[in-house]
Amino acid sequence: MKKQDRRQEAQPAAPPRVVAQTTLRLRSELECERAIRLAHRRGIATATAYRGPQGDESSPIFVIVIDEVPALEAFLPELQETVPEAPISVIREEVVHLAPPDFLRGGMLRPKPFRAQAGHLGWVFAGGTLGAGARILVEFGARYVSPAQEVFPWGTMAVNVLGSFAIAIFGTLLFERFMEERERMFWVLGFLGSFTTFSSYALQTTESWRNSVILGGLYGGGSLFLGLLAALLGIRITRRAI
Amino acid sequence: MVAAELAMTLIGAGVGAVLRYVIGGWVNHRMGPEFPWGTLAVNALGCFGLGFLEGVAPEDRVLLFVLGSGVIAGFTTFSTLMLETLNLAFAKERDRAFFNILGSLALGIPALSAGIYLGSGV
């Protein structure tokens, strides 16, 4: 009984009966990108672009912007300023159905409130413990293989580059929704987050910089360069595979 | 003894990862999705912590290993920084991607130095 009451309270107010819809005719993708990004920044409910009927490069691009009448009217002058040469037309449409119910008030764009879930914390903790174990293993191995680890911490560098490669794979799988939230907590936030380390990287860069500017620069810049390269490679390979 | 140290280091890293999840997630939520502020804040904070530790006990290798390789290394992250930078670059936000890398260094290394300075003063 009580639960039902709360659910009724949570229901948003009835949606407006009329919305305003603007159609813009643009000549370039650059203009289209500007218009859509501005709409997103201003929290406009929806801004969608499509190419004209011919569908080839020469046909114009149309952008449709929809929101409640006052919100759209307040947005129009700024939009016209952004794409000054584009013809803009505004029509009003009657709303038949709105989903989700708070769509026009930015329900899709608004970030969800951050709540750490107890179950998630457990997965992050477990992943973090194992990730650190793997990092320490690699660092000890590097020290065992070559004492150069003390001067040029190539073990930590390998960890960071390897971790960047792996997180790119997981990140792409996550983006394509091949992964569950629990797996993200364990692998991405827990294991890989703890496997790689920024604090040791910063300390080692300053220390080896003090010993030798060349080695310090090579370590500091090399880690970033190889890390970005590895992540790029990870994204490319995963996108090709799926 | 070595086993106990290792166990403490690993548990510390788990705690560090949980702290990163909570603090990073909270900062990201407060600052919005336009820029990965959470990772930046976490990394700068961790650099300060490691510097402070180095300043307080530069000779204590055990403490430096347990805390520096454990809770602080687990707290900061390099891989997320790389992925978020690439995501910004793919979203045609080149300047933000550049600032993400530059800002991490420009905040992290001074934070480390400040930590060493303050730590050695204690």
pLDDT in tens, A125-183: 999 999 999 999 999 999 898 878 778 899 999 999 999 999 999 988 887 677 788 88
d(CA B78, CA A166): 12
pLDDT tens-digit profile of B78-91?
Answer: 999 999 999 899 87
Q: Do B14 and A125 touch (CB under 8 A)?
A: yes
Q: Is A187 exposed, middle or buried (0-12, 13-18, 19+ CB in 10 A)?
A: buried
Amino acid at residue number A48: T
- For the beta sheet containing A18-26, the strands, ordered from the edge strand earlier in sequence to the opposite edge, are A46-51, A61-68, A18-26, A88-94
Q: Do B50 and A195 touch (CB under 8 A)?
A: no
Question: If you average pLDDT over residues B19-25, what whole number do you get?
Answer: 94
Q: What is the pLDDT of residue A128?
A: 97
* Interface with A, mutate which of B82, B94, B113 (most A CBs under 10 A): B82
Please state which of the ranges A5-9, A202-206, A226-230 shows the lowest mean pLDDT.
A5-9
Q: Do A194 and B105 touch (CB under 8 A)?
A: no
Partner A, chain B 27-66, Cβ-Cβ below 8 Å = 28-29, 32-33, 43, 46-47, 49-51, 54
Q: Is B102 on the interface with A (CB under 8 A)?
A: no
Residue in A with minimal Cα distance to B70: A132
Is A101 in a helix, a strand, or coil?
coil
Q: Give A16's pLDDT tier (boundaries 50, 70, 90).
A: low
The angle at the Cα of A174, spanning A171 to A179, to the nearest 5 degrees, equals: 130
d(CA B10, CA A133): 6
Q: Which of B71, B53, B54 is nearest to B10 (CA)?
A: B71
* Interface with B, mutate which of A194, A206, A226 (most B CBs under 10 A): A194
0.80 surpassed by pTM: no
Backbone angles phi, psi at B78, to 5 degrees: -100, -40
Q: Give B4's pLDDT tier (boundaries 50, 70, 90).
A: very high
- Cβ atoms of B47 and B111 closer than 8 Å: yes
d(CA A182, CA A167): 15
E-strand ranges in chain A read 18-26, 46-51, 61-68, 88-94
Residue in B with minimal Cα distance to A195: B74
Q: What is this model's ipTM?
A: 0.94
Mean pLDDT of chain A: 85
Residue in B with minimal Cα distance to A128: B14
Question: If you average pLDDT over residues B105-120, what whole number do you get?
Answer: 96
Amino acid at residue number B75: F
Q: What is the pLDDT of residue A131?
A: 97
Q: Do B50 and A199 touch (CB under 8 A)?
A: yes
Q: Do B78 and A166 touch (CB under 8 A)?
A: no
Q: What is the pLDDT of residue A181?
A: 82
Please state which of the ranges A80-94, B5-19, B41-55 shows the lowest mean pLDDT.
A80-94
- Answer whether residue A13 shows pLDDT above 90: no
Report in angstroms the alpha-carbon separations of A164 from A172, A180, B94, B97: 12, 20, 19, 16
pLDDT tens-digit profile of A50-106?
Answer: 887 776 667 788 899 999 888 899 999 989 988 888 888 899 988 888 777 777 776
* Interface with A, mutate which of B23, B71, B75, B79 (most A CBs under 10 A): B79
